[in-house]
Amino acid sequence: MDYQFIRGESYKRRDIYRIVGLSEDRKGGNWETGYTRHEEDYFLFCNMGVAGTTGHDYNNHFLGDDLVWFAKSKTKIDQPEIKKLINPEVKKYIFIRSSNKEPFKYLGLGKVKSFEETSPVKIIWEFLDDNELNPISLPEEVIETEKYFEGSIKQIAVNVYERNPDARQKCIKHYGVICQVCGFSFEGVYGVIGEGYIHIHHLKPLSEIGKEYEIEPKKDLRPVCANCHAMIHRKKPAYTIDELKSIIRNNT
C-alpha cells in the first residue's frame, strides 16, 4: 500500500498511526521497538546516537546519503523476518531521530544496498526517489558495495556526501534555498512545486573525501540550482562558486 508520507517531514508516532490507519488496540508492542510489519509493508524507526526504547544503542549512522543500520539484537540473516526486510519486493518506510524527545523524520522508501551476516544483522539502506523530489545524480563517482543482490548492477552515483539528509537540512537552514551562484529560486519561478527544492554542492573535491569524512554543513556545503550544479562539474577539478559567478558576469 502507498502511504502519503513526505520526505524530510517530521512525524510523531501518533501521526504515523493515523496515516497508516492503525487501530488503538494495535499500537505499542513492535511499533515501539525499532521496526514492525504492517500488512505487507515494514516501518523502521531508527535512533541515531541515542538508545531506543529497548535500551539498545546501535551504531546507526550515515555513510554519504546511505543509512548504515542494525536490526534487533540477536538477529541473523536466515531468520524469516530479516529475509522479508531484505526482499526488494517489500516496501520499507524508514524514519530517523537523534533524540527520544523528538519526532521522527521520514527519509523515504528504503532499498537494501548491501548487508552483512552479523548478529545483529547490518544493512546499508539507499533510498528510492520515485517522485524525483531529490537532486538528480550525475555520473561522477562509482560507489562500491560489499554485497549485491543477484542480477543487480553496480550503481553510478554522485555527491553522496552532499545528500546526507541531516547535512542538507543544516545547509538549507543556514543559506536558504537560493542558488549561491546565480540567485535562482525554484519556488520563485515554479511556485509551490518548487518549494524547498535545491541542489546541494560540496566545496571539497570528492576525490579528497574519505568514507569517514565528517561534513560541516556551513563550511562544506552550498545550495545551488540544477543548472549551476551541472556547470560546476563541467571540468575536473570542478569550478569554484566564485569562478562560475565570474563566468556568468562575463557572459551577460
CA dihedral sign, ordered 16, 72, 56, 166: negative
How far is the first Cα of the chain from the last one, in angstroms, to the nearest whole number? Answer: 50
Residue 88 near residue 111, CB atoms below 8 Å: yes
Q: How far apart are CA 90 and CA 102, in angstroms?
A: 28
Of the pLDDT bands very low, low, confident and very high (cuts 50, 70, 90), residue 25 is low
What pLDDT is attached to residue 1? 74
pLDDT of the residue at 148: 38
Q: Which of 176, 149, 168 is nearest to 215 (CA)?
A: 168
> Distance between CA atoms of 226 and 21, rounded to whole angstroms?
38
Domain residue spans of the chain: 10-134, 160-250
- Give the C-alpha separation, 160 to 58, whole Å: 23
Q: pTM above 0.85?
A: no
Confidence grade of residue 136 (pLDDT, cut at 50, 70, 90): very low
Q: What percent of the chain has pLDDT over 70?
A: 77
Q: Which of 220, 227, 224 is nearest to 205 (CA)?
A: 220
Give kind and range of the element (H or E) at residue 243: helix 241-250
Q: Give Cα separations from 130 to 2, 111, 127, 134 (angstroms).
A: 12, 12, 9, 10
Q: How far apart are CA 122 and CA 130, in angstroms?
A: 25
Contact (CB, 8 A) for 7 and 105: no
Q: Quick one: cell of 136?
A: 538528480
| Spatial contact of 225 and 179, defined as CB atoms under 8 Å apart | yes
Q: What CATH number should be reported for the domain whose range is 10-134?
A: 2.30.280
* Residue 88, C-alpha cell as written in the block: 526488494
Are 108 and 95 in contact by the 8 Å Cβ rule? The answer is: no
Confidence of residue 149 (pLDDT cuts 50, 70, 90): very low
Residue 252: Cβ-neighbour burial (10 angstroms; 0-12, 13-18, 19+): exposed
pLDDT band at 44 (very low <50, low <70, confident <90, very high): very high
In this structure, the dihedral spanned by the alpha carbons of residues 240, 246, 249 and 252, taken in order and rounded to 10 degrees, is -70
Mind listing the pLDDT tens digit for each residue in 211-249?
A: 556 678 888 899 999 899 989 988 878 899 999 999 999
Q: pLDDT, tens digit, for every residue of 153-208? A: 333 333 444 456 677 788 888 999 999 999 999 999 999 888 888 888 888 765 56
Euclidean distance between CA atoms 120 and 87, whole angstroms: 18
